Amino acid sequence: MTTVALKPATMAQALTRAMRDAMAADPTVHVMGEDVGTLGGVFRVTDGLAREFGEDRCTDTPLAEAGILGAAVGMAMYGLRPVVEMQFDAFAYPAFEQLISHVSRMRNRTRGAMPLPITVRVPYGGGIGGVEHHSDSSEAYYMATPGLHVVTPATVADAYGLLRAAIASDDPVVFLEPKRLYWSKDSWNPDEPSAVEPIGRAVVRRPGRSATLITYGPSLPVCLEAAQAAEAEGWDLEVVDLRSLVPFDDETVCASVRRTGRALVVHESGGFGGPGGEIAARVTERCFHHLEAPVLRVAGFDIPYPPPMLERHHLPGVDRVLDAVGRLQWEAQR
Amino acid sequence: MTVMEQRGAYRPTPPPAWQPRTDPAPLLPDAAPYRVLGTEAAAQADPGLLRRLYAQLVRGRRYNAQATALTKQGRLAVYPSSVGQEACEVAAALVLEDRDWLFPSYRDTLAVVARGVDPVQALTLLRGDWHTGYNPREHRVAPLCTPLATQLPHAVGLAHAARLKGDDVVALAMVGDGGTSEGDFHEALNFAAVWQAPVVFLVQNNGFAISVPLAKQTAAPSLAHKAVGYGMPGRLVDGNDAVAMYDVLSEAVRHARAGGGPTLVEAVTYRVEAHTNADDDKRYRADSEVTAWREHDPIDLLEKELTARGLLDEDGIRAARDDAETLAADLRARMNQDPALDPMDLFAQVYAEPTPQLREQRAQLRAELAAEAEGTH
């Protein structure tokens, strides 16, 4: 086994590399969206793709999300693999009808004759000081739609590996990119990118014995930091990174909760009707006899995403996670 | 002084880079719908084409009647009739080559059947045993689309992809007058024009979106006029004139195939029957209006031309009706058999590989079915 020099790389670079490698390996892969070509995307995630593969394969489209996704449906019907960029979370809403009425169910309504291998890249979540409509966490909407895979990386290596898997998938994938992690760096070897990660598997990022923090995307670094801080309180926290919300990895999550007996779900989107409710219910149904305390949630408030100067009060941070960890000492509280 | 008046005093000169990109004049539709039947031009029409159109119109009318009867017997959940619009339906199918694609809306079963899809399979959605009864790839017919105008961007994407691959494939997409108010209509036309995609948009303006008349749908001079704003030609045609429909659509298909880009065709027609069997059209229109349109019937118009030119006699009419009757009898017989349904199909093809969650649910249903079969449930 050769050792390779690991260099720091950003999540944005890993995503670009994933698209580049996918386009080089498969001529049917097409990147499209507003500003993805000449500009390289407003986050520069598609930087250089138009130059390398031509404007027919990395296309600046008219500014119309339903049109972009709707055209991608037709392109996929003709055998292409469109990778669509939605620029910002809340900008994807005009495309919801296409996503829900067509993209998610074309395979099913045609009895498998017409699978749609479309990747919808959605930069999502807050923490970058964006103004209104630039920081939503829409994952619950996507999760509630059968026929879609919903994937969200939290590390540089996963950004590469999961995006390659999403593009290679014969089913539509909503690929949620935590935009506040775009510039997070990690040791990664861009000359020899890591393997493609199968969609649907959670991973234990930090082993522990006292409780399980179940999280994904932008909240993973928060949970890891909280776990570090909790050590001082005598808590040995396990952190599970879901990576894929659909399909959901009950096995990894429940194995962890059975080990620790306590579980806390952490995410940025609102708690009411949010992913945490589903996860808490699944864990309770499967691990009830192992639980020492109710499954708790730390989520964003149930409010429209706040203006940037107030977002730090809304986003679940380390303190809020640690408070909830304290509440997991159920016996002591009773 | 109003703002408008103030602006009137200040007349900016456009910067030198600004030029109108297209002369709108050639894109504008004619003032009146294009017609062939009943004019001198009809004498030029190819007899073979006239006969082919006639046979298909008669079959289409009979198919509409049979499908409507099937709703009364409870065999179809719903049927949106296209009586009066058969010329649009038939022409849309006949102008396409095998390699071309048709993108129908829910009212376009007739176009789907004229394209060669099995009549029973074309009705699967409306019978309710599955969403799409046919394999779209086999006949190059997209699934019948229930949401309005959402299939139009698909047609654009498919045509664009075909052109990128170097295939001379054309996509023809059908939409109603109501559908032209939807955002997807706008986005599809704009994409098609910007990409110069080989697409033909056929609007069947049948007067009503369920109960809402065209006057409440749009303030445009005609729906065909909308084309100009996108930079594509708009064509206005008598939708009850099968020959005119065929002419205009073939021209648009030729134009698209030759790399000329998209065309918007507005067929002015009328929905003689109610929106569906669930609709009461007496609440929103007068009988006299319907009667007037019945007198401009697409089959009568063509029959007159064929008879006048000696291309059709009583025997010919009877032969066409017999053929249509055979189609109806076959449809009736096959639709009166209960479809064989497998409940396990519910889980088939949600994903290429079922998720663990769907596997659990599939096992649950299988157990329920087994218990049902043993009579223990």
CA distance A197 to A199: 6
CA distance B343 to B365: 8
CB distance B130–A109 less than 8 Å?
Answer: yes
Question: Which residues between 71 and 90 in chain A have a beta carbon less than 8 angstroms from any beta carbon of chain B?
Answer: 71-80, 82
Q: What is the pLDDT of residues B212-221, one digit of tens each?
A: 999 999 999 9
Residue pair A119/A167 in contact by the 8 Å Cβ criterion? yes
List the single residue in B132, B150, B355 with the smallest CB-CB distance to A246: B355
CA distances from A244 to A89, A186, A205, A212, A214 (A): 18, 20, 14, 17, 12
- Cα A307 from chain centre: 23
Sequence-distant (≥ 6) Cβ neighbours of residue B72 within 8 angstroms: B277
User: Which long-range contacts does B69-72 make (Cβ < 8 Å, 24+ apart)?
Assistant: B69/B332, B70/B123, B70/B331, B70/B332, B70/B335, B71/B276, B71/B277, B72/B277
CB distance A147–B351 less than 8 Å?
Answer: yes
For residue B5, the model assigns a pLDDT of: 66
CB distance B154–A247 less than 8 Å?
Answer: no
**A102 in contact with B, Cβ within 8 Å:** yes
Residue pair A71/B150 in contact by the 8 Å Cβ criterion? no
CA distance A66 to A101: 12
B275 is catalytic: yes
* Token pair listed for B74: 């409870």
pLDDT at residue B1 tops 80? no
Residue pair A137/A314 in contact by the 8 Å Cβ criterion? no
* DSSP per residue, B260-323: ---EEEEEE----S-SSTT--GGGTS-HHHHHHHHTT-HHHHHHHHHHHTTS--HHHHHHHHHH
CB distance A75–B137 less than 8 Å?
Answer: no
The residue among B340 and A263 whose pLDDT is bigger is A263
CA distance A250 to A260: 15
Kind of pairing between the strands at B208-209 and B199-205: unpaired
A81: closest chain B residue by CA: B161
Residue B181's φ and ψ, nearest 5 degrees, are: -85, -10
CA dihedral B207, B212, B216, B221 (to 10 degrees): -10
Q: Which residue is listed with tokens 């706008």?
A: B186
Distance (Å) from the alpha carbon of A81 to chain B's nearest alpha carbon: 10
pLDDT by position in tens, chain A (length 334):
445 556 778 999 999 999 999 999 999 999 999 999 999 999 999 999 999 999 999 999 999 999 999 999 999 999 999 999 999 999 999 999 999 999 999 999 999 999 999 999 999 999 999 999 999 999 999 999 999 999 999 999 999 999 999 999 999 999 999 999 999 988 777 666 767 889 999 999 999 999 999 999 999 999 999 999 999 989 999 999 999 999 999 999 999 999 999 999 999 999 999 999 999 999 999 999 999 999 999 999 999 999 999 999 999 999 999 999 999 987 665 5
- Number of neighbours of residue A230 by Cβ within 10 angstroms: 21
pLDDT at residue B6 tops 90? no
Distance (Å) from the alpha carbon of B328 to chain A's nearest alpha carbon: 26
For residue A256, the model assigns a pLDDT of: 98
Sequence-distant (≥ 6) Cβ neighbours of residue B363 within 8 angstroms: none
B187: closest chain A residue by CA: A67
For residue B11, the model assigns a pLDDT of: 65
pLDDT at residue B79 tops 50? yes
Question: Which residues between 199 and 218 in chain A have a beta carbon less than 8 angstroms from any beta carbon of chain B?
Answer: 200
For residue A17, the model assigns a pLDDT of: 95
The residue type of A114 is M
Distance (Å) from the alpha carbon of B376 to chain A's nearest alpha carbon: 27
pLDDT at residue B7 tops 70? no
**A273 in contact with B, Cβ within 8 Å:** no
CA distances from B274 to B226, B282, B286 (A): 27, 9, 12
Q: What is the pLDDT of residues B15-67, one digit of tens each?
A: 777 777 788 999 999 999 999 999 999 999 999 999 999 999 999 999 999 99
CB distance B150–A56 less than 8 Å?
Answer: no
**A157 in contact with B, Cβ within 8 Å:** no
* Token pair listed for A15: 């995503």
CA distance B182 to B184: 5
CB distance A74–B154 less than 8 Å?
Answer: yes
B129: closest chain A residue by CA: A109
* Token pair listed for A73: 């449906």
For residue A2, the model assigns a pLDDT of: 47
Q: Which of A77, A84, A174 to mutate to test the interface with B (most CBs of B within 10 A)?
A: A77
Just list the catalytic residues of A. 134
B100: closest chain A residue by CA: A78
Q: Which of A78, A107, A246 to mutate to test the interface with B (most CBs of B within 10 A)?
A: A78
The residue among B347 and B13 whose pLDDT is bigger is B347
Instruction: Label residue B3 by pLDDT band (50, 70, 90).
Output: low
Q: Of these residues, B127, B140, B160, B271, which one is catalytic?
A: B271
Handedness of CA A299, A302, A308, A313 (dihedral sign): negative
Structural element, H or E, at residue A8: strand A7-10
Instruction: Label residue B375 by pLDDT band (50, 70, 90).
Output: confident
Residue pair A103/B220 in contact by the 8 Å Cβ criterion? no
* Token pair listed for A271: 């708690």
B186: closest chain A residue by CA: A67
Residue pair B52/B90 in contact by the 8 Å Cβ criterion? no
CA distances from A69 to A120, A219, B295 (A): 8, 28, 44
The DSSP symbol for A92 reads: G
For residue A53, the model assigns a pLDDT of: 98
For residue A111, the model assigns a pLDDT of: 95
The number of C-alpha atoms within 13 Å of A28 and in the hemisphere containing its C-beta is 17
CB distance A102–B137 less than 8 Å?
Answer: no
List the single residue in B135, B156, B162 with the smallest CB-CB distance to A113: B135
CA distance B209 to B192: 25
Lowest-confidence segment of A55-69, B196-210, B273-287 by average pLDDT: B273-287
CA distances from B195 to A29, A95, B18, B100, B160 (A): 18, 20, 21, 18, 7
CB distance B187–A102 less than 8 Å?
Answer: no
The residue among A37, A46, A54 whose CA lies nearest residue A17 is A46
A315-324: buried (b, 16+ CB within 10 Å) or exposed (e) per residue? bbbbeebbeb
CA distance B153 to A68: 8
Sheet with A296-300, strands from edge to edge, namely A203-206, A237-241, A211-215, A263-270, A296-300
Distance (Å) from the alpha carbon of A49 to chain B's nearest alpha carbon: 17
Lowest-confidence segment of A49-53, B136-140, B337-341 by average pLDDT: B337-341
Instruction: Label residue B286 by pLDDT band (50, 70, 90).
Output: very high
